Structure 1
Amino acid sequence: MNTTDIHEYMSARDAVGHGTHTASTAAGALVPDASFRGLASGVARGGAPRARLAVYKVCWATGDCTSADILAAFDAAIHDGVDVLSVSLGQAPPLPAYVDDVLAIGSFHAVVRGITVVCSAGNSGPYSETVINSAPWVLTVAAGTIDRTFLAKITLGNNSTYVGQTMYSGKHAATSMHIVYAEDVSSDNADDTDARIFECYSSKRKCGALLPNTRTASIPGGSRDRKKGPWCRSHLRAVFNQRYSICF
């Protein structure tokens, strides 16, 4: 990340936005009509919107998070008498032993003083079930559910409709398109005059896409569970000339 043009604040205010994001997750006030690019509009709020926040900044715009700053923040929070510590920090595997892990050490001192410590499970992988901050005295959490869905309706030529999910919010074709299986298409330079809906795992073509268990927001598309519906290779090749549409 290029941080050369980011202005740093010598206070608890964050320069990049991660601190604001995590603080709002913990105690953000109610915000009506919140949405992602117009999708799934509704009320958004933090876990405890009436809580009083005390913010301890340990990371800087350059990405530096020193052990000394982290431990100093734990000490300050303990001294201030906080009830809960929400720690959205961590390092990628391989993880150090608890006796060498600054977050495990700091959180232990907080827990023995009656403070609940909640740590992020991390985003690093390498597997979907991989977590960090696994010390037994902390509560390790990750987002698993939300209270709304991002729906896309996939309509076949016989008017059968299947519901998938999408994060795409841009323009999409108002008419139906032919569906093809991605491996059956040899052209890498398809344009808008040769539009197709592709059944594929990933695609850079200008097209609609049905992506099994895959995330994308850059092309018109939807994802759906591979275990549901008549979505297999033989089916796609059998209905090559059918027209499908995706409604967001």
Structure 2
Amino acid sequence: MKMAHAYRDKLVVGNWKMHGNTLENQARFDALRGHVRRYTETVKIAVCVPFPYLPQAERGLHQSGISWGTQDVSPHAHGAYTGEVSADMAREFGARYVIVGHSERRAYHSESATEIAMKARRALESGLTPIVCVGESLEERELDRTNDVVASQLNTVLDSLSVYERLQLVFAYEPVWAIGTGRTASPAQAQDVHAHIRTLLVSRDRELVNLSILYGGSVKAGNAENLFAETDIDGALVGGASLDPVEFTGICAAAHQAAQK
């Protein structure tokens, strides 16, 4: 199903995961400023870095038109939570986005749907834009449960927020079976799920029709153009390819071309 829509911004977000050091990061920030910023007039672009590198991202990307953010956030505002980083702390270093509910956090840290919803709310309260990840495992896809799994993950977050708060969300569909595996959903497979997500959003409130929905599953420069050509794919949450300036530039270029169309 493809749903007619008003114009939606293209958004490309790099997820550096647990990679980088100050020297490598500087080279990447320099490359972003030198090659990627040319697309910022038509595409919203951001990178989500490990917490210790937020100050370096702030210095390296200041006034570049490229935003930065974090890969997680505490569900708590403050308190005796050793090792946690609050949304306010991230915001103090200019962070704009935070990834919430990434499949790796769900799998490796046993994050519940309720905890993910709490993180999204906390991010919103601090002025951050949550990128809420949803997606199914290979087993769930083979059992034809993709739509049910995605709906459950999405609704738990929506149920915890007001309509105004929902309007500030970004969603990312990341099929778990395509994360870090080199596999990717075909453009048609991705479009089907994106359209399903948009239908679910509209069923909650018609104002949500123009929320951005990103695709995240081994996105590369070579497949980005075909993915972005689909009606309901508004950009990408990019993992490994975001560490390669050439690949990431190619993905942003594909988003720029799609935005112009």
TM-score by length of 2: 0.32
Structure with greater helix share of residues: 2
Structure with greater strand share of residues: 1
